[in-house]
Structure 1
Amino acid sequence: MMSGLSIDLSTRDRVKIAGKMLVGALAERGDGVGEVQIAVKVEESLGNCPKYLNKKDVKVHVPSPRAVEGDVDGKGAGESSGKSGVLLGREAVGVVEKADMFFLSSTDGSTMDTNHRGGPKGFVRVVRNEKGDVVLAYPEYSGNRLYQTLGNLRLNPRVGLVIPDFETADVLYLTGETELLVGEAASALMPHAKLVVKVVVREARFVRDGLPFVGEAGEMSPYNPPVRKLAWEEGVVVPGQGEGMGGNVTLLATATLVRRQILTPSIARLTFQLHPEKGGQPVLRMWKPGQYITLDFSDKLDHGWSHMRDDDPQSLNDDFVRTFTISSPPPPQSEGQEEDVVIVDGTELELTVRRHGPATGLLWRHNTRVPLHLPVLGFGGAESFRIAAAAGGDPKTKAIFVAAGVGITPLLAQARGVIAGGQDLALLWSLRAEDLPLAVDTFEKIPGLAKVTRLFVTNLRGADEAARRSMLEKTEVEAVVPRRISREDVLGSTTSTSDNGGPQTQTKYYLCTGPELHRVLESWLQGQNVVSESFNY
């Protein structure tokens, strides 16, 4: 009994076969490379859709296979442990972490199935990698509902995996048992995933240069969802894990869109009224400045299952749960005691959002004369990103907030309190020229913020520059710089003196930018005290 997969990564064609092996032959060529020929009686076959197949230009490669035993069991790696069993070494883990596809075989005892799983690089996560305790996990995306692989794993959890590295021809072979996680169990391990396969690895073989082919990366599949990280990984927003949530996704309140103010061509301020569930447990407690709200758009945007959806491929695996940083502070009467204040019916909050994707598109176009009700799953956000709380009010600590575009939102709810409390604050804000009205509006709403702000403006053109600058004249902004932010701008902002004229002793950076600028900032700020907020929603 055997199974296999015929696949063409240049065209995204694939056909599964299963049947009986009739005869096989092994020949050795002059260069020492073996060549296998197998005759198979095909008893089952199925052509599969092109979803989650990333194109590659595959070429023949003459391998020089070398089994790297120490890279899968810890031998020769300077590790000592009384435990026995598999352990993935650095190279093997690297293959897992960069993989955008792998192959797996399963059986129900009477027949077999071989197929691929694909996605963005990093869609397979390493849950644990300790001697004798290696666990991987990957999300199961929307498929054809035949459940040939999942059905086998439900009946027989044993699985074999092959994870290829198309760049180096290295390959990792794994066997083990699977556990299927569904619903809350899946999202508890991997937020935003509805179905997760956990693989407990029993045996592993890492072979360097073991593949008879290499492949150059081409177009990624438009059906690939974003990488789903594990719940404890940095930057992961866990839906429903807000105040009083206890980690369970529970409807705490309904948010009703009541006002929308267009600030720039792509940015709007949205005002919501909160209506807590009557008699609901747990209760929804007041948000803290700098926190986010988690809203569920699935009732409005989820069209249900379909095999293919070329007009909107991302929607097939979207849970339509979104988080937005709250840009308004809590009501004055709750200041400093948010944990003890229960939100009352009609409490308003503001979100400042950029139009991007289906959820914000709905918020942007919805007629506010017709109520739009969205389930609230909770509030959340790292305590370390609250400037006043993190700095402890220490006048010798300077807070430098680096924002890009709507990355200013975590500061909007905090700035009044930070400035009023005498905290030494500097804002480095990068934004496009067309978004300058957001800056003007922000400075008008938050007195004193402009004086500690340097604006780095891109896309200024000719006559526009004079018009844009005139918008800012009345705001008393510290500086308007017509270029991108630089390393010197960031590191030079640490210069300051304390009230007694002495040098500033501490600096803390708060980063809220897009992924590319965030990576650059982290490279500039190595060794500095840095906290950051996820910019993805």
Structure 2
Amino acid sequence: MGAPGIYHEGSRAVQDRAGVRDLADHVGRAVGDGIKPVAAAFLELQPLLVLGAAAPDTGRVWASPLAGRPGFVRATGPHRMSVSGGLRPGDPLTRALATDGTPVATIALDPRTRRRMRLNGQLRPTEAGFAVAADRVFANCPKYIQRRESYELLPERAAGTPTRGRELTDAQRTFVASADTFFLATAHDGHAEVSHRGGLPGFVRTDSAREVSWQDYAGNAMFLTLGNLAVDPRAGLLFLDWTTGTTLQMTGEGRTEFTADGERRVRFTVSEVIETPGAVPLRWSEPEPSPANPPVTP
């Protein structure tokens, strides 16, 4: 596929502002539409997949987790990924998984190896769950991924009743402030992206009950996510308690602020919040921080 086919005007604008267009073109050449054998083998080992999409009924963008015994996600062809099972009842993307042709983005992240793989495409509902016809497949570097050596699958863990709100409670603000990882979904012009963000606890700030912000650390120079936000502010955030399985999902709008010293900060305004106790039946071991994590600045 190559760089010209994956970058739109938003990504190009951010790349140019950061002075990394040539690097982005180089990195972009690694993006394809096929699932290579090494990627297929990686997928079959994963107990967690994060999905990003716009809900077809509201247009709001969300990020949602899917979990299961390894093998629930697998490549069933050179351009097709299949997923058995579905989202918890009431998840905001449930209708998206039942709608043929929904543009979706997925990320499989393995804390054990600090590897991650992204696959985007068009969704097709199936009897067992859903499949994605891939149009963009690529891996990212291990930067900012906290290592977790092992996990337990807890099939007896049942999701609690979700609580919904229009702003973050004090307890939810504490949850966000203590997080070392979250997932960020965006969308633009019939395509979706979902990416990982990581850092030391405190790297995400809750500036108010309606605003969350974080410094955008140096990455792969592609700026697919910030490029989407530059032209379409819709976004969804997913925070996960890696021990209890509780999830905190937010939808709203994001914007990127550029400082005179070249740093970037993303500010996210909350429209809706969903907290679900025990939503993910996985319990991971304690984290080992990534050596790439910068110090948290006030």
TM-score range, shorter chain: 0.5 to 0.7
Q: Is 1:205 matched up with 2:205? A: no
Aligned to 2:214: 138
Deviation at 1:24, TM superposition (A): 3.2
Aligned equivalent of 1:115: 195
> Conserved in 1, the CA contact under 8 Å of 2:158 and 2:281?
no
Distance (Å, rounded) in 2 between the aligned partners of 1:164 and 1:25: 28
| CA distance in 2: counterparts of 1:67 and 1:197, whole angstroms | 31
Q: What is the aligned partner in structure 2 of residue 125 from structure 1?
A: 205
Checking the alignment, whether the CA contact within 8 Å between 2:162 and 2:274 is kept in structure 1 is yes
CA contact (8 A) 2:243 2:282 kept: no
Paired residue for 1:65? 159
1:398-428 C-alpha deviation (Å, 9 max, x unpaired): xxxxxxxxxxxxxxxxxxxxxxxxxxxxxxx
Structure 1 residue aligned with 2:243, among 167, 171, 183? 167
- Indicate conservation of the 8 Å contact 2:144/2:292, yes or no: yes
Cα distance per residue 1:274-313 (max 9 Å; x no partner): xxxxxxxxxxxxxxxxxxxxxxxxxxxxxxxxxxxxxxxx
1:104 and 2:206 aligned: no
Q: How does 1:193-272 map to 2 (within 5 A)?
A: 194-229=263-298
Q: Is the 8 A contact 1:139 1:228 kept in 2?
A: no
Query: Are 1:9 and 1:58, in contact at CA under 8 Å, matched by a contact in 2?
Result: no
Question: In the alignment, residue 132 of structure 2 is paired with which amino acid?
Answer: V
The structure 1 residue matched to 2:112, chosen from 1, 10, 13, is: 10
The corresponding residue for 2:47 is none
Residue 132 of structure 2: aligned partner = 40
1:218 to partner: Cα distance: 3.1
Q: 1:25 to 1:174 in 2, by over 3 A?
A: farther
Deviation, structure 1 residue 87:
2.4
- For residues 40 and 221 of structure 1, the distance between their equivalents in structure 2, rounded to whole angstroms, comes to 31
Task: Please state if 1:95 is matched with 2:175.
Answer: yes
| Structure 1 runs of 4+ with >3 Å offset | none
CA distance in 2, matches of 1:227, 1:94: 16
Q: CA RMSD in A?
A: 1.7
Letter in 2 for 1:205: I
Alpha-carbon spacing, 1:49–1:146, altered in 2? closer, same or farther (3 Å): same
Measure how far apart 1:94 and its partner are.
Answer: 2.7
Deviation at 1:121, TM superposition (A): 1.2
Aligned positions of 1:57-456 closer than 5 A: 57-62=150-155, 63-69=157-163, 72-73=164-165, 86-129=166-209, 134-184=210-260, 194-229=263-298
Structure 1, residues 203-252: CA drift from partner, whole Å, max 9, x if none?
110111111212112321000001122xxxxxxxxxxxxxxxxxxxxxxx
Q: Which amino acid aligns with 2:246?
A: D
CA change 1:67–1:88 in 2 (3 A) is farther
Residue 146 of structure 2 corresponds to 54
Distance 2:235 2:162 in 1: 22
Q: Structure 1 residue 25: deviation in Å? A: 3.9
Deviation of the 1:58 alpha carbon = 2.8
Contact 1:22–1:40 (CA under 8 A) maintained in structure 2:
yes
TM-score relative to the length of structure 2:
0.62
1:89 is displaced (CA, Å) by 1.9
What does residue 434 of structure 1 align with?
none
**Post-superposition CA distance 1:143-188 (Å, at most 9, x none):** 111111111111111001110011221110100001111014xx8x
CA distance 1:116–1:228, shift in 2 (3 Å):
same
Aligned residue type for 2:122: K
The code of the aligned residue for 1:44 comes to: R
Deviation at residue 114 of structure 1 after TM alignment = 0.9
Instruction: Give the percent of matched residue pairs that are identical in Structure 1 and Structure 2.
Output: 29
SS at match of 2:285: strand
Q: Distance in 1 between matches of 2:175 and 2:130?
A: 29
Structure 1 length as normaliser, TM-score? 0.35
* Corresponding residue for residue 80 of structure 1: none
Structure 1 residue 39 displacement after superposition: 1.2
**Aligned equivalents of 2:265, 2:154: Cα separation in 1:** 34
Which letter maps to 2:167? Answer: L
Secondary structure (helix, strand or coil) at the match of 1:162 reads strand
Q: 1:205 to 1:25 in 2, by over 3 A?
A: farther
In 2: Cα distance, 1:24 partner to 1:197 partner: 37
Q: Provide closer, same or farther for how the CA distance between residues 12 and 223 of structure 1 changes in structure 2, counting only shifts above 3 A.
A: same
Alignment length (residue pairs): 194
Letter in 2 for 1:217: E
Change (3 A) 1:200 1:60: same
Aligned to 1:436: none
Please give the alpha-carbon distance, in whole angstroms, between the structure 1 residues aligned to 2:241 and 2:171. 11
Task: Give the superposition deviation at 1:61.
Answer: 2.4
Gaps spanning 5+ residues in structure 2: where? Answer: 1-102
Matched residue type, 1:11:
T
Q: Is the alpha carbon distance of 1:224 and 1:21 closer, same or farther for their aligned partners in structure 2, counting shifts above 3 Å?
A: same
Residue 54 of structure 1 aligns with an amino acid whose one-letter code is Q
Q: Secondary structure at the match of 2:113?
A: coil
SS in 1 for 2:270: strand
Contact residue 9 and residue 55 of structure 1 kept, 8 A: yes
Instruction: After TM superposition, give the deviation of residue 68 of structure 1 in Å.
Output: 4.4
Aligned to 1:21: 123
**In 2, distance between residues paired with 1:44 and 1:121?**
31
